Amino acid sequence: MTDISTTWISSTGNGDWSISGGALASGDDLTSAVLISLFTDRQANDDDVPPDGGNDLRGWWGDAGEDVLIGSRLWLLDRSKLTPAVVNTAKIYIEEALKWLIDDQVALGVSVATAIASSSQLNSLITITRQDGSVVPLQFNWAWSQV
């Protein structure tokens, strides 16, 4: 079974559903799941400080009372200077957001590597090992140029 294909639009920093032949396109369910997991704002933890210093912890209302939250806390890094500490925190947030892939047995493993590419670009390589042993590498370098 395949999901609706989600595509990332680099110029606007948004995801959108793909259209094929006048209908919603389907397929590439793993990439769509990863895009949603990384680029949907997960609710911040009580001890997190939002980048604007306010008290909006964001998140999806459907997560209220749930054990597993949808999305990632990468949004908390908005306005952060790209330092080794921020790169390490981004790696932790990515791993946290994709942990469900292992818990739900979608994948055998998820490996995340992050690095500073320039003063304003964080590179990330996510390697997902599917249950059948096949490996899917995903790069989201373009997404971080706005950080």
Sign of the CA dihedral 49, 52, 56, 57?
negative
What's the pLDDT tens digit per position in 82-132? 899 999 999 999 999 999 999 999 999 999 999 998 888 899 999 999 999
Distance from C-alpha of 142 to C-alpha of 90, rounded to nearest angstrom: 15
Q: Are residues 37 and 3 in contact, defined by beta-carbon separation less than 8 angstroms?
A: no
What's the pLDDT tens digit per position in 25-75? 666 688 888 988 998 899 999 999 999 999 999 998 878 888 888 899 999
Average pLDDT for 126-144: 88
Q: Are residues 144 and 120 in contact, defined by beta-carbon separation less than 8 angstroms?
A: no
The token pair at 58 is 């964001």
Among the CATH numbers 3.10.450, 3.40.47, 1.10.3470, 3.40.1000, which is that of 6-146?
Answer: 3.10.450
Backbone angles phi, psi at 139, to 5 degrees: -115, 135
The token pair at 98 is 């994709």
Q: Are residues 135 and 108 in contact, defined by beta-carbon separation less than 8 angstroms?
A: no
pTM assigned to the model: 0.82
Distance from C-alpha of 82 to C-alpha of 121, rounded to nearest angstrom: 8
